Structure 1
Amino acid sequence: MATQMKSEQTIDDIIAQGMRDQIKWLHDHMARGLPRVGWKIGITDAVAQVKWGLSGPAVGALAGNCAFDFGADVPVREGAIIRGEAEISIRMREDVPEGCTLEKARAAIVTLGPAIELIDISKPGGDLATILSHSIFHAGVVFGDEFPPETLQQVEDYWPRAFRNGKAVRQPEPALIPEDLGALVMLVANLLPRYGESLKAGDRIISGSFVKPMIGEPGDTMKIDFGALGKVELRVVTKA
């Protein structure tokens, strides 16, 4: 459902409205017994940030009913327009408080691994509050194996590679690659307390895509190869 906007709202008002709706959606999910998964970094493209009046990336919640492990069949609703994104999953060793330093944010990372996020761009996208309310088009996430953080140092610049139905279709976009994963941890840790949440031990953060989104249709397989950081794969299926 689209969020009603008021013309006099500031960008901070708009973000707050969308985030309140998003966190309510997350808490409603958890109240129904769905697991807590973590968070996502979204709207990482500089052009999109300018369009929406943002000074940096946005944050979304990951849904407990559409988080899967390597090789999963990921169900999407009929009529969805699916795109797949190549990301790094960042798992927290400990709670990360608001106001933490960059050094503490880096130290709080216990493992890294490859991930594919599915987004559904048929969801409403006419205003920023609505986009935030549905967690920036979130439709699912699949996680690969996890590795010690220092493994990232072995990943060369030409990774990841993205494959659709076995064919290489995407390679890294330098402008999309985060400079410091610790800075993403800080972003999430500092934002969430404004809306009644916090970054907790065991939470995952997916980094935002390293590649341009790739098309995914029912029956398609998607694979991301991050070299030393491993691979992750899924198949898109229509919900029964």
Structure 2
Amino acid sequence: MMDDATIEAIADELLEAGRSRVPIPRLTARYPEMTVEDSYAVQRLWRHRNEDAGRKLVGRKIGLTSRAMQQATGITEPDYGAIFDDMVLETGCSVAWDQYSHPRVEVELAFVLKKDLTGPGCTIFDVLNATDYVVPALEILDSRIEMADRTFVDTIADNAAMGAMVVGGNPVRPDAVDLRWISAILYKNQTVEETGVAAGVLDHPAAGVHWLANKIAAHRDGLKAGDIILAGSFTRPLWVSRGDTIHADYGPLGAITCRFD
């Protein structure tokens, strides 16, 4: 386990990288002994520093839950990060492209909870029972650490690469549709770039949510009523450039559009 001073120093580096938009050198190149637990310790301290600065925690993201994402990254275990209030954008928004480093977009579903969820022992049925509604969402991936050769350990410390999310479309109750068969078509500048089905996320988009509740229970943490949980991408990440327009068509669940300016 890394000592507290090193964890603090890394968290401070990441805070500064978020402000300056200059990614820091890869952590695993500088700290080859760094473990997954070390990374989550960095992330927790980074999160608390942000909360102390006035940002409000409104939910969590789950990453690397689909085969598409695992094959794109070479990583086979999910991870998670924090969502703050200023990360939640609405469809139709203009996104400041230079506010992010290496922005990419993913197609997801967001679960909004009406009850607390805590592990261990949380099941998919507990998740569905605790969910108020499910709504289409895009995740904007960011990177405060250099991209080249980064590992799972780097990504976790970097708040699981969470930049922002765009919410839109039609909210639905979790029993109103077959969540596994929700599908989406992702366009960039009127060209279809990716398609996907929500079952690509661990066979059911709610599966990542109960994984998360059980995972954070080890740190005496839980999910709260009102939390937004980004359940994981069912497409590969799509690189975006300044001026790109992104449109995600979820069929009966509506659509999300945003532009990177």
The Cα offsets for residues 33-79 of structure 1, whole Å up to 9 and x where unpaired, read as 22222111212334467x45x5x311122233322111112224368
For 2:131, the equivalent position in structure 1 comes to 109
Corresponding residue SS for 2:159: coil
Higher mean C-alpha displacement, 167-176 vs 28-37: 167-176
For 2:21, the equivalent position in structure 1 comes to none
Residue from 212, 221, 229 that aligns with 2:245: 221
Confirm or deny: 8 A CA contact 1:152 1:228 kept in the other structure: no
Corresponding residue SS for 2:178: helix
Q: Which runs of 5+ in 1 are unaligned?
A: none
C-alpha deviation, 1:6, in angstroms: 4.5
Corresponding residue SS for 2:203: coil
Query: Aligned letter for 1:108?
Result: A
Residue from 47, 50, 71 that aligns with 1:29: 50
For 2:254, the equivalent position in structure 1 comes to 230
Q: State percent identity of aligned pairs.
A: 24
Q: Distance in 2 between matches of 1:121 and 1:183?
A: 26
Count of equivalent residues? 228
Q: Distance in 2 between matches of 1:79 and 1:69?
A: 17
After the TM superposition, which residues 54-65 of structure 1 pair with which residues of structure 2 at under 5 Å, given as runs? 54=76, 56-65=77-86
1:203 aligned to 2:232? no
Residue from 164, 167, 172 that aligns with 1:147: 172
Confirm or deny: 8 A CA contact 1:154 1:228 kept in the other structure: no
TM-score (norm 1): 0.82
Q: Which runs of 5+ in 2 are unaligned?
A: 1-23
Corresponding residue SS for 1:195: coil
Confirm or deny: 8 A CA contact 1:85 1:116 kept in the other structure: yes
Q: 1:98 to 1:229 in 2, by over 3 A?
A: same
Q: Distance in 2 between matches of 1:111 and 1:18?
A: 31
Q: Distance in 1 between matches of 2:82 and 2:105?
A: 17
The Cα offsets for residues 114-143 of structure 1, whole Å up to 9 and x where unpaired, read as 111111357334233221111222221111
C-alpha deviation, 1:234, in angstroms: 1.2
C-alpha deviation, 1:81, in angstroms: 2.0
Query: Aligned letter for 2:167?
Result: F
C-alpha deviation, 1:20, in angstroms: 1.6
C-alpha deviation, 1:17, in angstroms: 1.1
For 2:31, the equivalent position in structure 1 comes to 5
Q: Distance in 2 between matches of 1:160 and 1:151?
A: 18
Q: Distance in 1 between matches of 2:81 and 2:166?
A: 16
C-alpha deviation, 1:200, in angstroms: 0.9
The Cα offsets for residues 136-158 of structure 1, whole Å up to 9 and x where unpaired, read as 2222111114221134328856x
Of Structure 1 and Structure 2, which has the larger fraction of its residues in helix? 2
Q: 1:234 to 1:132 in 2, by over 3 A?
A: same
1:187 aligned to 2:208? no
For the aligned residue pairs, the C-alpha RMSD in angstroms reads 2.6
Confirm or deny: 8 A CA contact 1:70 1:233 kept in the other structure: yes
Q: 1:20 to 1:28 in 2, by over 3 A?
A: same
Q: Distance in 2 between matches of 1:123 and 1:18?
A: 13
C-alpha deviation, 1:165, in angstroms: 1.8
For 2:111, the equivalent position in structure 1 comes to 90
Q: Distance in 2 between matches of 1:78 and 1:181?
A: 29
Corresponding residue SS for 1:141: strand
Q: 1:152 to 1:175 in 2, by over 3 A?
A: closer
